[in-house]
A = this chain, B = another copy of it.
Amino acid sequence: MEKGKRHVSLKDLANEIGVSISTVSRALNNHPDISPEVTRKIQQLAAARNYTPNPLAMGLLKQATRMIGVIVPDLVTHFYSSIISGIEQVAEEKGYYILIASSNETLQKEIKAVNNLLKTRVEGLIVCLSQETRSYEHFDRLIQNQIPLVFFDRVCRMGEVPTVVVDNEDAAQKITRHFYRNGFRRIGYIAGPDHLSISQERTRGYLSGLKSCGLEFRPELLEKCNLSSNDAIEATGRLLSLPEPPDAIFGINDTIAFAAMKEIKSRGLRIPEDVALVGFTDEFHSTVVDPALTSITHPTFEMGQEAARLFFKRIENPEAKPDQVVLNTKLVVRKSSVK
């Protein structure tokens, strides 16, 4: 290996042994044409020299980079990092790498991430939409060009693109009924932006949950916010300032549940005595807050795994009808919602 070069190439091996590059290539691929002894010798040298095939060269040749782009709304929320871990696990098994980008919940950065990832020649994308995203041209381009695409959690273009979601309507219904069973009657709900699939579905579950309990829907108890902590705090404030404030609230995700908890406490109200609270959060954080938070836990790691599996299915069989995987959630009851 010449100095300055950090990786051994087939050429280096070929020169050292005194055979041609193609012989080395074949030997390393266990091609039957090459004599066993030559093969052995070459493989030994390759191991000794720490040879690994250059993925750039392979990529050029095969037009396949073995890289998947993953776009999430943010990196620091446990929900997404856990999903990423799931994706990574399955990808690794297949010898793929993932390139992670964050949209920061903005459409602009999402579009940029799509473009950047495509520039790097990822073989396809696994995406959770940003909360701002309500036009989908940047994804339609991919669909037209047959670039493998999978959505999870916040999805669009279902039917054209494989998706992994949880049964959001069911989850929201479970929460509403749980409140009812525990004696709460003025059930408030802090939703997200209307155009998000998860928000719509959970709102639907909230409404049908109320209905099935024989409760009337009161518009003032349904608050909306963008998914930021600050906005959620304000939304909670509005609910609590109502002439007849709710005796129970559920927040559409992690961020909102915690924000609501902060705001309730900061007003000197007790949970669950004055206001019960349920959120969508993970196991760990739910138990560390006080009172422990009743919550819908997502099977995040599995969501990631499933998304990756759908991705590979897509690569292997691009023409097949896209799958729609729906995972189940679990309502874990803790102190925050039981008087």
A interface residues, Cβ below 8 angstroms from B: 5-7, 52, 54-57, 59-60, 63, 65, 75-76, 78, 81-82, 84-85, 88, 97-100, 102, 116, 118-121, 145-147, 229, 258, 261-262, 265, 284-285, 287-291
Contact = CB atoms under 8 A, between A and B. Distances in A.
Nearest to A88: B102
A115 to B, nearest CB: 8
Contacts of A146: 6
B7 A56 contact: no
Nearest to A120: B55
Task: Give this chain's copy count.
Answer: 2
Contacts of A116: 97
Given A85-B102, A289-B289, A121 B56 contact: yes
A118 B53 CA distance: 11
Given A52-B118, A54-B60, A229-B284, 10 more contacts: A6-B145, A52-B119, A75-B84, A75-B88, A88-B102, A99-B99, A100-B100, A261-B288, A288-B289, A290-B291
A265 B1 CA distance: 61
B85 A75 contact: yes
Contacts of A84: 75
A229 B285 CA distance: 12
B7 A121 contact: yes
19 contacts: A6-B145, A52-B118, A54-B60, A54-B121, A55-B119, A56-B56, A56-B59, A60-B60, A75-B84, A75-B85, A76-B78, A76-B82, A88-B102, A97-B120, A100-B100, A229-B284, A258-B284, A262-B288, A265-B290
Nearest to A3: B146
A56 B122 CA distance: 11
Contacts of A289: 288-290
Nearest to A80: B81
Given A60-B57, A121-B56, A99 B97 contact: yes
Contacts of A75: 81-82, 84-85, 88
A119 B97 CA distance: 11
A147 B288 CA distance: 42
A89 to B, nearest CB: 10
Contacts of A60: 54, 56-57, 60
Nearest to A112: B92
Nearest to A229: B284
A160 B274 CA distance: 59
Minimum-distance CB pairs A-B, first 8: A290-B290, A56-B59, A76-B81, A75-B81, A52-B119, A258-B288, A56-B60, A56-B56
Contacts of A290: 265, 289-291
A252 to B, nearest CB: 17
Contacts of A85: 75-76, 102
A90 B7 CA distance: 27
A186 B81 CA distance: 38
A211 to B, nearest CB: 33
Contacts of A285: 285, 288
Nearest to A84: B75
B147 A6 contact: yes
